Amino acid sequence: AEMCIRDTRYNLWFVLTAGDRAQLDRVLAEIAADTGLQPLDLPMQEAYCIDLAFPLEASR
């Protein structure tokens, strides 16, 4: 899961992936049970692939 804090009404969001929708629903239910808050489920509508090109070798 990826998390980000923002200065808006919804100031915390995360990206959750699962093997299937049933597993995703179980995890969302666990989050609701653990926090007492209902997660806002906003399914991905379009995937974007971004190559950040981080260097993997240590610089010398």
- Kind plus residue range of the DSSP H or E element containing 55: none
Percent of residues in the chain assigned helix, strand, coil, to nearest 5: 25, 15, 60
Q: Which two tokens stand for residue 30?
A: 């666990």
Residue 33 to residues 27, 39, 50, 53, 58: CA-CA distances in angstroms? 10, 10, 34, 38, 43
Structural domain harbouring 59: 1-60
For 4-59, what is each residue's pLDDT tens digit? Answer: 666 777 667 788 889 999 999 999 999 999 999 899 898 888 888 888 787 777 76
Total length of the chain: 60
Note if the pTM is more than 0.75: no
Structural domains counted in the chain: 1
For 20-29, what is each residue's pLDDT tens digit? Answer: 999 999 999 9
